[in-house]
Structure 1
Amino acid sequence: MNLKELSELLNLSQTTVSRALNGFPEVSERTRERVQRIAKQNNYAPNKAAKGLATGQTLTIGHVISTSNQNEMVNPVFGDFVAGVGEVYSTNGYKMMLSVVPPHEDEYQVYRDLKAQSTVDAVVVQSPSINDGRIPFLTELGLPFIVHGRSTQCDVPYAWLDVNNRSAFARATDFLYDLGHRRVGLLNGSEHLDFAFRRREGYESSLISHNLTIDPDLMYSDEMTESYGYHKTLELLKLNSPPTAILTASIIVALGTRRAVQESGMIVGRDISIVTHDDRLSYFQNSDDIPIFTATNSSVREAGRRLAEMLLQIVANPEMKPPSELLEVELIVGQSTGPVLI
């Protein structure tokens, strides 16, 4: 069945049917539901090229990735996020365009070109920094977008989806305090990025609430690699007053921390506790039964799905108020934590 035949069956114009199927707001909810129901009953599948011509859309979403962060493209978190958004794009007839920007090139010019050439219908902003300049720039440019994360100090209204990083790390630090730990190290991500800034805030707010001193010697920030976790843990363990617990920004960092602890002749969960953030990756599980690490837990793949759904709503309804959603995390107790040794 083609669009003309479906329109004749419904006794509606092809324009009305096309708009109903593509979520245009000027079509009544009653008409939209009727059109979608009859289309489904008759196994109607719209021609994607024709859909693009009818709506003036490219049916493409852009992802612009700067390689100034050298591990961005190979980070398993990025892979799971792309898998999540990709599922929703595919289901709705959209493609994903990935633009990789080398460190010496202008990321803003990539956005200008995408807009000028009408290459994409919208873009996803990833790894937002504090007061991220891309947000006001894209707003002024008029290119629809959504941010995976948030940007502290950015006053422009914008669409975003984020994990409650501040609450997650406050909760993790509270958990360690309840186990008797008073010296808690922090191996954070790069703190020019908003998620890491918020995690440090959560960590420090917990220490303050328990009248504990914020000790700069216990805190590091850098790209989240296994090597970083390993070397910085060794430095923490050499302090005159080393931490009895370490909070890490990712499970990859936690693996380095565990290696350093074990090489130092200590037992994780007895001599020192580790809590990490686990993005619940499809191919990098924190164990199937008893978790290896105690972790604040959220699914980056599910976050990708939800973000894509929100962005496609923006594309279908350009005048809508920018949506936002804050995802809470679970605290999963694993084998890597225990009471402080007296």
Structure 2
Amino acid sequence: MNLKELSQNLGLSQTTVSRALNGYPEVSAATRARVEEAAKAFNYRPSTRAKGLATGKALAIGHVIPMSTKHEMVNPIFGDFIAGAGETYARHGYEMILSIVADEDEHQIYRGLKSRRAVDGVIVHGPSMNDPRIPLLQELGLPFAVHGRATGCETPYAWLDVNNRSAFERATRFLFDLGHRRIALINGLEVMDFAHRRRAGYEDALRAHNVAVDPALMRSGEMTEVFGYQSTRDMLQETNAPTAILASSLISALGARRAVEEQGLTIGRDVSIITHDDALSYLQNGGDVPIFTATRSSVREAGRQLAHILLDIIANPGGTPKTTLLEAELMVGGSTGPAPRKD
């Protein structure tokens, strides 16, 4: 059913029906309720373009991803975040525009989105240290919210992040409580803000236990299964091998487990592993009892919440940027145990 047919069925003009569905105040509450009830009964949905013309908004949110940004696109975290954000957009009548662009074109894409009024706002993914996108978007006046934070960007901006430093400091302390002293870190790319904060939390716990930071026990790279495997394999071949490992993603932790088992060792007895778990819908860390001990925070819920933050900025411009810091929960699974005794 189209607008004309719905209007004829109700005995109202197309203008009145359109205004009722788009929230114009001059339409009476009784008429609005009648129109909305009929639209629901006939499964009528006004086109986003028509609503946009009526409201002066694009009713779309942009997600711009550079082609080289592997830490976003190869990781299932991105899919769950988009799913959560998409749920919020749909409930509020917004569409999503996903742009995969060459790195050198990224800034120009943001300028184009603004000049064409193609979107009402954008989500910034994978912030790096001193991320240049934040001052650019502030200069353009394009509403935005950041999934994460960017150390070095001092001007206030809206963001939602997990307390990565606290999470990895707590996870490292947990391993110390189990008697481990040789604790390794398999981290993400440390130009990324989240990885920088996780390393800081890990180092905080080492210093608190009077253990020197040992570069031989630290790896940084794309969070793939192969990276987790190779990093763990190499460290386990050292004379003074680690007895515990912190991994920045469940995917890297799977690679670490493969390397441990390849050496004929047992997870949780010979080598303990803690990972960060984003509670992914299609890569779950076990059932009621986690496979890996993990710092857990739902990235899908993060997508929902950050989408709400951005839509609020769009609806209420000029307010103080909202920031949200989520705390990760430490979930004890079968991958950790007391440090093995030395013979």
Q: Shared topology, TM-score over 0.5?
A: yes
Q: String of CA shifts for 1:148-183, please: whole Å, max 9, x gaps.
A: 000011111101011110111001001101000111
**Secondary structure, in 3 states, of the residue corresponding to 2:23?**
helix
1:188 maps to what in 2?
A: 187
Q: Output the CA distance in 1 between the equivalents of 2:24 and 2:276.
A: 43
When residues 61 and 291 of structure 1 are mapped into structure 2, their CA distance, relative to the original with a 3 A threshold, is same
2:143 maps to what in 1?
A: 144
2:265 maps to what in 1?
A: 266
**Secondary structure, in 3 states, of the residue corresponding to 1:136?**
helix
Question: How many Å apart are 1:50 and its aligned residue?
Answer: 3.7
Q: Which amino acid in the other structure matches residue 86 of structure 1?
A: G
1:340 maps to what in 2?
A: 339
Q: Output the CA distance in 2 between the equivalents of 1:184 and 1:299.
A: 26
Kept in 2, the 8 Å contact 1:150–1:161? The answer is yes
Kept in 2, the 8 Å contact 1:65–1:101? The answer is yes
Equivalent runs, 1:4-23 vs 2, <5 Å: 18=23
1:79 aligns with 2:79: yes
2:120 maps to what in 1?
A: 121
Q: CA RMSD in A?
A: 2.8
When residues 216 and 35 of structure 1 are mapped into structure 2, their CA distance, relative to the original with a 3 A threshold, is farther
1:11 maps to what in 2?
A: none
| Identity in percent | 57
Question: How many Å apart are 1:40 and its aligned residue?
Answer: 6.8
Q: Output the CA distance in 1 between the equivalents of 2:181 and 2:161.
A: 30
Kept in 2, the 8 Å contact 1:18–1:54? The answer is no
1:161 maps to what in 2?
A: 160
1:99 aligns with 2:99: yes
Question: How many Å apart are 1:55 and its aligned residue?
Answer: 2.1
**Secondary structure, in 3 states, of the residue corresponding to 2:73?**
coil
1:88 maps to what in 2?
A: 88
Question: How many Å apart are 1:37 and its aligned residue?
Answer: 8.3
**Secondary structure, in 3 states, of the residue corresponding to 1:292?**
coil
Q: Which amino acid in the other structure matches residue 90 of structure 2?
A: S
Q: Output the CA distance in 1 between the equivalents of 2:231 and 2:160.
A: 31
2:225 maps to what in 1?
A: 226
Q: Output the CA distance in 1 between the equivalents of 2:144 and 2:302.
A: 16
Q: Output the CA distance in 2 between the equivalents of 1:60 and 1:94.
A: 5
Q: Output the CA distance in 2 between the equivalents of 1:34 and 1:303.
A: 38
Q: Which amino acid in the other structure matches residue 145 of structure 2?
A: I
Q: Which amino acid in the other structure matches residue 215 of structure 1?
A: D
Q: Which amino acid in the other structure matches residue 336 of structure 1?
A: S
**Secondary structure, in 3 states, of the residue corresponding to 1:62?**
strand
Question: How many Å apart are 1:38 and its aligned residue?
Answer: 8.7
Q: Output the CA distance in 2 between the equivalents of 1:223 and 1:268.
A: 23
Q: Which amino acid in the other structure matches residue 314 of structure 1?
A: I
Structure 1 segments of 4 or more deviating over 4 A? 33-46
Q: String of CA shifts for 1:200-223, please: whole Å, max 9, x gaps.
A: 010001111111111111001000
- 69-78 or 111-120, which deviates more: 69-78
When residues 181 and 39 of structure 1 are mapped into structure 2, their CA distance, relative to the original with a 3 A threshold, is farther
Q: Output the CA distance in 2 between the equivalents of 1:316 and 1:35.
A: 25
Q: Which amino acid in the other structure matches residue 238 of structure 1?
A: Q
1:323 maps to what in 2?
A: 322
Q: Output the CA distance in 2 between the equivalents of 1:265 and 1:211.
A: 31
Q: Output the CA distance in 2 between the equivalents of 1:53 and 1:321.
A: 28
Q: Output the CA distance in 1 between the equivalents of 2:38 and 2:57.
A: 25
Kept in 2, the 8 Å contact 1:268–1:336? The answer is yes
2:3 maps to what in 1?
A: none
When residues 162 and 39 of structure 1 are mapped into structure 2, their CA distance, relative to the original with a 3 A threshold, is farther
Kept in 2, the 8 Å contact 1:160–1:324? The answer is yes
1:60 aligns with 2:65: no
**Secondary structure, in 3 states, of the residue corresponding to 1:267?**
coil
1:177 maps to what in 2?
A: 176
Q: Output the CA distance in 1 between the equivalents of 2:217 and 2:102.
A: 34
2:278 maps to what in 1?
A: 279
1:209 aligns with 2:208: yes
Q: Output the CA distance in 2 between the equivalents of 1:251 and 1:34.
A: 53
Q: String of CA shifts for 1:81-107, please: whole Å, max 9, x gaps.
A: 11111111111111100110124x321
Instruction: Structure 2: give runs of 5+ residues left out of the alignment.
Output: 1-5, 14-18
In the comparison of the two structures, how many residue pairs are matched?
327
